[in-house]
Amino acid sequence: MKKLLPALFLAALMTAQAEDKKPAADEGKPWKQWFADGKLDGFTIVSGTASYKIEDGVLVGTTTEGSPNSFLMSPSFKDFELEFEVKVDDALNSGVQVRSHLAKDGDPAPEGAKKPLPAGRLYGPQCEIAVNGTAGDFYDEARRGTWWSELTQTKEAVRTEAAKAAFRKGEWNQYRIVVKGDHYQSFVNGVKAADFKQANDPEGHIGFQVHGIKKGTGPFSVRWKNVKIREL
């Protein structure tokens, strides 16, 4: 019996080491699909008058002449991972707001803004959708009016030539956005396009943008499909 003890101890040790090597359990909640059921329940159009509809599970946002930037706004989120595919008309600029805020009557100017915003204006970090090399970078919409890669001095390290070229003009493009704590990341077609930290917006809305257009142009559209989110 005594001769078995070392063998049993060794077996137990090997089992414990094997358990240590297993990947950690995923702490995120289950994925939730948006728009595939043809419904916009829980979402609100704010800031402008662009139209939003669902066609065969694809969210289609279309410009309205004379309208400022419009957003299809979700409820509020803290930490999350968001994935989608997007296709935008070449002449249109778009984006997805994250942890953004809706201005109300009487609100003071947000920190970084030059003046108070009109009631109903959505503002905050926006992950860019565009064909001009800025896709995946984050713009501080309606507030600081500049790129977070510049504000956080991450532009040189992250906005590489590969990042600038990741978005494919006229095609469906896959986005992954991860926001956890003060850490923001985006990936466009698998290429890292943003990676920075900022603690100003711990919680806020997600908003699918249809950009305003010049008079006498359009209509233009942006399309999102396979949109899914999970809270972290």
Residue pLDDT, tens place only, 110-124: 999 999 999 999 999
Please indicate, yes or no, if residue 12 is contained in any of the structural domains.
Answer: no
Quote the number of domains for the chain.
Answer: 1
pLDDT score, position 28: 74
Please indicate, yes or no, if residue 19 is contained in any of the structural domains.
Answer: no
Q: Do residues 204 and 68 touch, judged by C-beta distance below 8 A?
A: no
Please indicate, yes or no, if residue 15 is contained in any of the structural domains.
Answer: no
Across the chain, what does the average pLDDT equal?
91
Burial class of residue 167 in the structure, from the number of CB atoms within 10 Å of its CB (0-12 exposed, 13-18 middle, 19+ buried): buried
Q: Say whether pLDDT at 153 is over 60.
A: yes
Q: Say whether pLDDT at 9 is over 80.
A: no
Range of the domain at 150: 27-231
Burial class of residue 102 in the structure, from the number of CB atoms within 10 Å of its CB (0-12 exposed, 13-18 middle, 19+ buried): buried
Given strand 94-102, what is the order of strands in its sheet? 44-46, 70-77, 204-210, 94-102, 122-129, 138-141
User: Which of 212 and 26 is assigned the larger pLDDT?
Assistant: 212
Q: Say whether pLDDT at 10 is over 70.
A: no
**pTM beyond 0.95, yes or no:** no
Average pLDDT over residues 203-211: 98
